[in-house]
Amino acid sequence: MKRQIFIFFSLFLISTAWGDTWIDLYETDGVTPYNGHPIMVGQSLVVIVASDEGEYGAGAIVLEGNDSNLGELICRYPEDCEDSALPAAGEEWFLYPEVQLGVGYNFCTGDEPIAGNWFVFDYTATDVGDPNIALYMALPPGPDPTLVYRTEYITQVPTRDFDEDGGVNLGDLAIIAEHWLSSSCSAPDWCEQADLNQDTYVNVLDLAAFTEFWLELTG
Ligand SMILES: [Ca+2]
Ligand SMILES: [Ca+2]
């Protein structure tokens, strides 16, 4: 019973001493919340580390394990990341590369952060798959922290911008038309990528997958 009381009391202390810290994802405009829809290889998202805590915090945000090569998580102004720290992170924040947990960054707020958006990063999909962006925090900072883990999965599909002009448009539709009803598409070209589901045919299934991203921008 004593142990149960201690655990409860410990949790109570943590929950009152520390709020929460999490990842918010936005479209490339940095304003529109990302709703979890698949993105094409070449498309980007804005990644925010946000907190409702007003005390010093330290953690890491990374692409994990085998998925770490499916995208790029980049701080702003990569030389010193100076534009990745937002005002709520306080003065004398710190960002530096993390390589053990995954590919990304360790972060520390200043001594007096405030609740809000602490850090911003840009994420770009570089390959097909379902990578996850993970946030690790030790709360509260100190010798006996509780480890906090948050993760956001992203579904990444092949680009529909076949001609690589920066958007899914008539030029790409023309490439589908050029290969329309072809039955011999094969790796690695897949009929200039027009065989989107890579079943060797270019048909209505590929056209449907193509139009899902009509007029979207890439890179
Ligand atoms: Ca295009
Ligand atoms: Ca196909």
Does residue 13 form part of some domain? no
Is there a single domain that holds both residue 126 and residue 217?
no
Q: What is the pLDDT of residue 138?
A: 78
Is there a single domain that holds both residue 53 and residue 76?
yes
Q: Which residues form the domain of 36?
A: 19-157
Q: What is the pLDDT of residue 111?
A: 87
Task: State yes or no: cis peptide before 78, omega within 30 of 0.
Answer: no
Residue 181 CA, ligand 1 centroid: distance in Å: 21
Q: Which ligand is nearest to the CA of 159?
A: 1
Is there a single domain that holds both residue 46 and residue 140?
yes
- pLDDT tens digits along 112-145: 999 999 999 999 999 999 999 999 987 666 677 7
- pLDDT tens digits along 49-80: 999 988 888 999 999 978 899 999 999 987 78
At 106, give phi and psi (nearest 5°). Answer: -90, 150
Q: Which ligand is nearest to the CA of 166?
A: 1
Is there a single domain that holds both residue 96 and residue 86?
yes
Q: What is the pLDDT of residue 140?
A: 66
CA distance 103 to 77: 17
Residue 160 CA, ligand 2 centroid: distance in Å: 13
Under a CB-based contact definition with an 8 Å cutoff, are residues 184 and 67 in contact? no
- pLDDT tens digits along 77-105: 877 899 999 999 999 999 999 988 889 99
Q: Please tell me the total count of domains within the chain.
A: 2
CA distance 41 to 72: 11
Does residue 7 form part of some domain? no
Using 50, 70 and 90 to split pLDDT, how confident is the model at 20? confident
Is there a single domain that holds both residue 98 and residue 197?
no
Task: Choose one of 138, 157, 176: the last residue of a domain.
Answer: 157
Residues with C-beta atoms within 5 A of ion ligand 1: 161, 163, 165, 171-172
Residue 202 CA, ligand 2 centroid: distance in Å: 4
Q: Which residues contact 134 (CB under 8 A, 6 or more apart)?
A: 61, 62, 63, 64, 101, 102, 149, 150, 151
Residue 217 CA, ligand 1 centroid: distance in Å: 8
Does residue 122 form part of some domain? yes
Residue 207 CA, ligand 1 centroid: distance in Å: 14
pTM of the model: 0.86
Residue 64 CB-half CA count within 13 A: 15
- pLDDT tens digits along 4-19: 444 443 444 444 456 7
